[in-house]
Amino acid sequence: MARALASVCLYASVCTLFLAAFAAPVSLDIRTTSGTFRGLSTGNGTEKWLGVPFAQPPVGSLRFKAPVAITNASRTVKDAFTFGNACPQEPSSSLGAPLSEDCLFLNVFRPAGTTPSEKLPILVWFYGGAFMNGAASDPQFDPTCKRVLIQRSVATSKPIIFVSVNYRVNTFGFLASSHVPAEDLNAGLLDQRAALTFLQENAAAFGGDPSKVTIWGQSAGAGAAEAQVLFPTPRPLFRAAIFDSSTGPFKNAPPASRYDDPGFPFARLLAATGCPAGPASFACLQKLPFEVSPFYRTVFSGSVRGLNVPAAQENATFDTFIKNLLIDPTTVTQDTLNTINSLYPPNDPALGAPFNTGDSLFDRAEAWYTDNMYLAARRLLFNKAAPLQPLFAYAFREFIPGNDPSLGVFHGSELELLFGHFPAVEQAFAEQMADFYINFINDLNPGAPWPQFTLETKQVLQLMRDNITAIPDDFNLQKTDFLDSTVVLGQFQK
Ligand SMILES: *[C@@H]1O[C@H](CO)[C@@H](O)[C@H](O)[C@H]1NC(C)=O
Ligand SMILES: *[C@@H]1O[C@H](CO)[C@@H](O)[C@H](O)[C@H]1NC(C)=O
Ligand SMILES: *[C@@H]1O[C@H](CO)[C@@H](O)[C@H](O)[C@H]1NC(C)=O
């Protein structure tokens, strides 16, 4: 045996293979502050731990409350082979796990054989879903699919660990009222913070470097990531952040007590559940079964597709669409609505409604919504934050073959590439997109040809399969300047 080893080791590369074949497998049992968990080898270059709890179940008297850390972890090894429950929300077939209030779980995916000494950078994923739905177990968020994220990071010698996090949504995560204790407001964001705190204590055991955490979210998940950047913590929980199509958080929000007023969400919730108004409301809502549907119901209404409104009523219907998206529509003036109407006039491809679907109201509403929710919000953030730290902006403009042409490059399209759900023609572009992200997670810079966004140059990277190029950040500028004006921001209570 010794002879065989000696002779094989004349060739360094063969020797490595030989030793690897005889080396004991790295144990997939990992001890954390919330228990010891046995991971799973996927057989395709990755390992995963699913359903790792990062806080006590927010049930009973903990419902609607800030998450509480686990301090009484059991020492028995638990299989972490299946996703933890999705948080309460409207039932859907795409969640990948049962619904339950006991839902504060995260999932760790890493390159196979990662050892604790490797100290890999960590990417933490917060799903979107309008703060109303979403789950880390959703099969579309598999970081191993088509080898685009984790295996790609290994192939480019910039390996990363991926962690996806559940957080409470809708009423369970964002109950607002004067009867909710201030320290429990935005419990869903506090869940994310609890997961990040858990990672500070436990990521090293998985081979991660807790000082190299990047948080990443899309849509509401990106708005949440921005909130994590803005609200200080006693110690840093991450060093970088990626926001895909973020929705804010720079809208004006009314104080929590406003939600108690007649017609506002807390009052509507009490009316729908039969719970009494006043100080007893909170305890009453805590005792209801979690499946009560008013807990999940969207506060906003929003589709204008195919309404076939007569031209004479189109502007008024557009106004109503806008007002229905706001918590407090009484603060928007008709002047502001008229200006929006004229900035996004009835369908004329040469003017403000660019999609030319033949559905004028739909085109206007979509054009305004995209600018108001995403482009204006991003410009506001970047223009304020550029002097404070390095920023990189992109405009994703790739229409992915097979998608609905009338939706164009829709909200969330880029995730199809980054999470490996795309036609073969997009493979190289998806890998390029992933490389930008992987570079940023490793080096805090996405790499050439992506320029830093500065107030002097204001450049964003256009992401298109055959046209990745830096462009000036000046498209739709008149519109976003209006939407970002102090007067309009003050009127949009969202
Ligand atoms: C830890 O404490 C919680 C809350 O009291 C309890 O529900 C849970 O069963 C305990 N876990 C263990 C492993 O003792
Ligand atoms: C890797 O394996 C996991 C678990 O079996 C699976 O979910 C994933 O799709 C696989 N990825 C690839 C690229 O085959
Ligand atoms: C709707 O608003 C546009 C833009 O301000 C305007 O040009 C058009 O005349 C209005 N249509 C009606 C029917 O009022």
6 Cβ contact partners less than 8 Å away, ≥ 6 residues apart: none
Task: Tell me whether residue 403 is in a domain.
Answer: yes
Distance 56 CA to ligand 1 centre (A): 8
Distance 182 CA to ligand 1 centre (A): 26
Average pLDDT over residues 359-377: 93
Is any ligand 2 atom within 6 A of the Cβ of residue 82? no
Task: Tell me whether residue 76 is in a domain.
Answer: yes
Ligand 2 atom at minimum distance from 146 CA: 13
Task: Tell me whether residue 364 is in a domain.
Answer: no
Last residue of a domain, one of 178, 209, 244: 244
Distance 45 CA to ligand 2 centre (A): 9
pLDDT digits (tens, 9 = 90+) for 449-467: 999 999 999 999 999 999 9
Q: Where are the beta strands (DSSP E) in 276-340?
A: none
Task: Tell me whether residue 276 is in a domain.
Answer: no
pLDDT higher for 305 or 378? Answer: 378
Ligand 3 atom at minimum distance from 312 CA: 13
Residue 297: pLDDT band (50, 70, 90) is confident
pLDDT higher for 349 or 435? Answer: 435
For residue 351, which ligand has an atom nearest its CA? 3
Is any ligand 2 atom within 6 A of the Cβ of residue 462? no
Last residue of a domain, one of 244, 262, 282: 244
CB atoms within 10 A of CB 22: 8
Range of the domain at 460: 394-472
Strand 77-79 and strand 35-38: the pairing is parallel
Q: Number of structural domains, the chain?
A: 2
Rounded Cα gap, residues 218 and 135, in angstroms:
13
**pLDDT for the residue numbered 15:** 34
Task: Tell me whether residue 189 is in a domain.
Answer: yes
Distance 327 CA to ligand 3 centre (A): 26
pLDDT > 70: percent of the chain: 92
Q: Please report how many Cα atoms fall inside a 13 Å half-sphere around the Cα of residue 450, on the Cβ side.
A: 22
* Protein residues with CB under 6 Å of any ligand 1 atom: 56, 72, 74
Distance 107 CA to ligand 1 centre (A): 21
Task: Tell me whether residue 218 is in a domain.
Answer: yes
Task: Tell me whether residue 323 is in a domain.
Answer: no
Task: Tell me whether residue 284 is in a domain.
Answer: no
Domain at 196, CATH number: 3.40.50.1820
pLDDT digits (tens, 9 = 90+) for 129-164: 999 999 999 999 999 999 999 999 999 999 999 999
Rounded Cα gap, residues 447 and 156, in angstroms:
13
Ligand 3 atom at minimum distance from 345 CA: 4
pLDDT digits (tens, 9 = 90+) for 34-70: 999 999 999 899 999 999 999 999 999 999 999 999 9
Q: DSSP letters of 69-117? A: ---S---SEEE--SPPPBPS-S--TTSSS-B-S---EEEEEEETT--GG
| Residue 15: exposure state from Cβ atoms within 10 A (0-12, 13-18, ≥19) | middle
152 Cβ contact partners less than 8 Å away, ≥ 6 residues apart: 431, 434, 435, 438
